[in-house]
Amino acid sequence: MTGTLITADHRIFRLPPLLSWRVTHTGTVPCDSFSVTFVYQKEMAEPLRLAAGFTAEENGTVMLRAVVDEYTVDLDENGLTASVSGRGYAARLLDNESRPVTYQQATLAEILRNHAEPYGISCGEIAEVRADSVYTVAAGSSQWKAVESFCRTYGGFVPRFSREGTLLAGPEKAGRTLSIGEGDPVLSCTLREDYYGVLTEALVIDKTRNKTFSVKNQEMLNKGGQCRRVVYTPGQSTWAAMRYTGEYQIQRSREDAWAAEAVLPGSFLAFPGDRAALSLERMGLSGTFRVAEAESRFDGRSGAVTALTLKPL
């Protein structure tokens, strides 16, 4: 993999060969991220000080466009090295707070025009979504929250960022399928189930009209779980919005309840939205799962490996 810095004054600085690197793709939040380490030379001082953007490429293909958060220069037993790290373009929306605003039957295009485009975000896909009621962006919400909540509430999907840094504000399309079986060189595989914090009930209360709506997670109730949350919504909430709020709270609480991580040799083997067909009978793992996160990393001792975090479809 090769790395390029883009300075605040729009100059391009190609980094020397990388000693180690890590690129993590999530497509959403938490952000895509990267870190790279290379031999430092004194002429790099100004480009590093002015570094604002970063591009990772593999065989001429862009693997990540990101913003630079930090750089360090280190002198130790390994010599003089520098490291640069940062996050994907979702950081531009996470780091900026929205003012409180209320929309009447807003469209997704209008939301993006007000909450994404002013921060240098270009949209590669915009679904035809319109709010059927009042949509309120609360005080203290990030621009990402303003966009994500609208997409979840009225479109039923989570917006994502492509590796090139464009916002995909539409339902996710299934990518390619990677097969992982007993005969493949799996370096490690971990299965985890953790039901701590998974809600059994979300009680939604419209505090202005004093209306309540209860959404229950029957699967966890059947397992003997008992975990309720009370959520207050602004006035004028429709029943659909209240039901969505309850379902959203339950869905978010169980997103991390089941996950598997498989580590394989090679880099950039899959990306979020791809599918992994597992056939690891010794672990009781079989079926097709969604790639939720893909981390590719390299160092001089281990070479290139990819860690895939898999979740149910």
What CATH number did the domain enclosing 116 receive?
3.55.50.10
Q: Are strands 61-76 and 79-88 parallel, antiparallel or unpaired?
A: antiparallel
Round to whole Å and give the CA distance between 259 and 252: 14
Looking up tokens 């917006």 gives 159
Please state the φ and ψ torsions of residue 219, each to the nearest 5 degrees: -60, -45
Query: Amino acid identity of 48?
Result: L
Question: pLDDT by residue (tens digit) across 181-216?
Answer: 999 999 999 999 988 889 999 988 887 777 888 889
Query: Amino acid identity of 29?
Result: V
Of 133, 137, 93, 127, nearest to 237 by C-alpha is 133
The residues facing 236 across adjacent strands are: none
Which segments of 100-217 are extended strands (E)?
101-104, 123-126, 134-137, 160-161, 167-169, 177-181, 188-193, 201-206, 211-216
**Structural domain count of the chain:** 4
In contact, 296 and 23? CB cutoff 8 Å: yes
Segment 285-296 shows an average pLDDT of 96
pLDDT of residue 238: 65
- Give, rounded to a whole angstrom, the gap between the first and last alpha carbons of the chain: 31
Tell me which residue range forms the domain holding 99. 93-169
The alpha carbon of 259 is separated from its chain's Cα centroid by a whole number of angstroms, namely: 16
The alpha carbon of 260 is separated from its chain's Cα centroid by a whole number of angstroms, namely: 17
- Do 116 and 165 have their domain in common? yes
Whether pLDDT at 135 is above 70: yes
- Do 211 and 290 have their domain in common? no
What percent of the chain is predicted at pLDDT more than 90?
Answer: 76
Segment 52-73 shows an average pLDDT of 97
- Do 12 and 81 have their domain in common? yes
**Among the three residues 88, 121, 144, which one is the final residue of a domain in this structure?**
88
> Rounded to the nearest 10 degrees, what angle do helices 108-115 and 143-150 cross at?
170
- Do 145 and 43 have their domain in common? no
For the chain, the average pLDDT equals 93
- Do 249 and 261 have their domain in common? no
Whether pLDDT at 233 is above 80: no
Q: For the ranges 25-34, 196-205, 274-283, which has the lowest average pLDDT?
A: 196-205
Residue 145 CA neighbour count, 13 Å, CB half: 15
Segment 267-296 shows an average pLDDT of 95
**Residues near 260 by Cβ (< 8 Å), separated by ≥ 6?**
189, 190, 191, 192, 278, 285, 289, 309, 310
Round to whole Å and give the CA distance between 297 and 300: 11
- Do 186 and 272 have their domain in common? yes
Structure tokens at 173: 């399309």
Whether pLDDT at 256 is above 90: no
- Do 70 and 97 have their domain in common? no
Structure tokens at 200: 């059994």
Q: For the ranges 29-38, 150-159, 304-313, which has the lowest average pLDDT?
A: 150-159
Looking up tokens 């969604």 gives 290
- Do 8 and 78 have their domain in common? yes
The alpha carbon of 116 is separated from its chain's Cα centroid by a whole number of angstroms, namely: 16
Segment 3-24 shows an average pLDDT of 97
The alpha carbon of 230 is separated from its chain's Cα centroid by a whole number of angstroms, namely: 27
Segment 145-168 shows an average pLDDT of 94
The residue ranking higher by pLDDT, 239 or 43, is 43
Whether pLDDT at 234 is above 70: no
Question: pLDDT by residue (tens digit) across 107-132?
Answer: 999 999 999 999 999 999 999 999 98
Question: pLDDT-derived band of residue 171, with 50, 70 and 90 as boundaries?
Answer: very high
